Amino acid sequence: MTTTDLSDFGHRELEMLEELLCAMRTQGLPDDFDDCDVVPVMNQYSGNVFLSNSEYQVAMMNGDKLESFYTLSYSGEEGFADELYDLFQDGGIDENDLEQLAEILSANGLLDEVETVRIKIAAQHTNVA
């Protein structure tokens, strides 16, 4: 369950929101995050605080950086771009999510990683034929 009602945010969550807003002001939103109807959101189960928009995209802090947080369409795997790539390297990304993963990596400037994923996609197409 999530909420955008700031009166539901505790002291910890308000501090997290302050960090998000400071990062938004100084770093800007992630390049692939649409800046339409951006609102702060708190997941009341996890206590995570993040930004969301009218496209249901999510931006969260990853260390000191405000980054997009992704959910893969087929498998539902979640994570930041680098985390999803690590999962790919460990064999944990479904083949049906590889095109989306390549797009995510490209949007984050991880071009060498994109090439590695594209090689895997090409190998799948070769094995199917």
For residues 64 and 99, state if they share a domain: no
Note the pLDDT of residue 129: 56
* Rounded CA separation 66/68 (Å): 7
- pLDDT (average), residues 70-93: 97
For residues 9 and 54, state if they share a domain: yes
Q: How many C-beta atoms lie closer than 10 Å to residue 14's C-beta?
A: 14
Range of the domain at 87: 81-129
* Rounded CA separation 38/58 (Å): 10
7-63 pLDDT tens trace: 999 999 999 999 999 999 999 999 999 999 999 999 999 999 999 999 999 999 999
- pLDDT (average), residues 113-124: 95
Note the pLDDT of residue 124: 86
For residues 66 and 85, state if they share a domain: no
Note the pLDDT of residue 46: 94
For residues 66 and 86, state if they share a domain: no
How many domains is the chain built from?
2
* Rounded CA separation 74/10 (Å): 34
Boundary of a domain, candidates 71, 89, 110: 71
For residues 19 and 65, state if they share a domain: yes
Note the pLDDT of residue 126: 82
Residue type, 2: T
For residues 88 and 63, state if they share a domain: no
Q: Is residue 76 part of a domain?
A: no
For residues 13 and 58, state if they share a domain: yes
For residues 95 and 55, state if they share a domain: no
89-109 pLDDT tens trace: 999 999 999 999 999 999 999
- pLDDT (average), residues 111-121: 97
